[in-house]
Structure formats: C-alpha cells, structure tokens
Structure 1
Amino acid sequence: MRQFRVCDSIDAYEFDKALDKACDELIRVDEMSDAEACAYCNTDTKEEALQGIQEEIDYIEFQLNRMAV
C-alpha cells in the first residue's frame, strides 16, 4: 500500500477504491461482446469503451502518485 500524507488520506482512500473499481470494470468490459460493451459504456465501439476506462485508470493513478509520499 502506498504511503500518503495525513491530510490526503481520505481522498487517497477514495481514489484507491475508485482505481480498484475501474480495474474491475476494465476486465469486465474486455470480457463482454462488442455489442454488450457498446451498450454498457454507451460507445460506438468496444475499443472506445476500453479506452475510456483506461483513461480513467490513468487519471486515478496520476492523482494517487501526486499524493504519495
């Protein structure tokens, strides 16, 4: 587990939970058919759906790295 400054601990905890959720969602969507992934993520292609989730993961990781001591 990363070490965080005390003032950021609540935000860091929430970001960590969000990261776990986004990673689980990425796996779930990757296992879906193209049509299911498009409907679930409201995208035109499965690749767009996966890219959107990956961008969210990258953003959360960036925020966590900024908070890490």
Structure 2
Amino acid sequence: MTETDEQMKKKQKIQEESGSNAEPSQVFPPRVVHQFTQKTAIKNEVSQSKPGLSTDVLASVFGGS
C-alpha cells in the first residue's frame, strides 16, 4: 500500500469519526462590484483629442528635407 493510500484512509477515518463527509471549504465574503459614473463624454473622433506636431518639428527631428 502506498503512502497516499494510507493518508486517504486516515482522512476518511477522521471524517467518519467527526461525522462530516464533505471537505471543509473556506468561506469567502461576497464580492462587491463598484460601478462609477462617467464624468466626461467619450469623444468619437481621436484626431481632435491628439495634438499633432508641426512638419517643421518633425523635419528637424528626423532630418527631412
């Protein structure tokens, strides 16, 4: 008989003596889901929210002509 079989038999014997057949499970409190209201509207167009760099700045950084 292997050690795991012996351990299982001991566990079953202890459970029978205590009168419970179910595994003792941890009890967790219920999870709370927080919902936050939206404060600002989401913009449909991304181009309006992103400021662009001028062509002069890009040309000087990347060495364009």
Q: Which has the higher helix share?
A: 1
TM-score (norm 2): 0.31
TM-score, with structure 1 as normaliser = 0.29
Is the radius of gyration larger for structure 1 or structure 2? 2
Compare relative contact order (CA 8 Å, sep 6+) and give the higher one, 1 or 2.
1
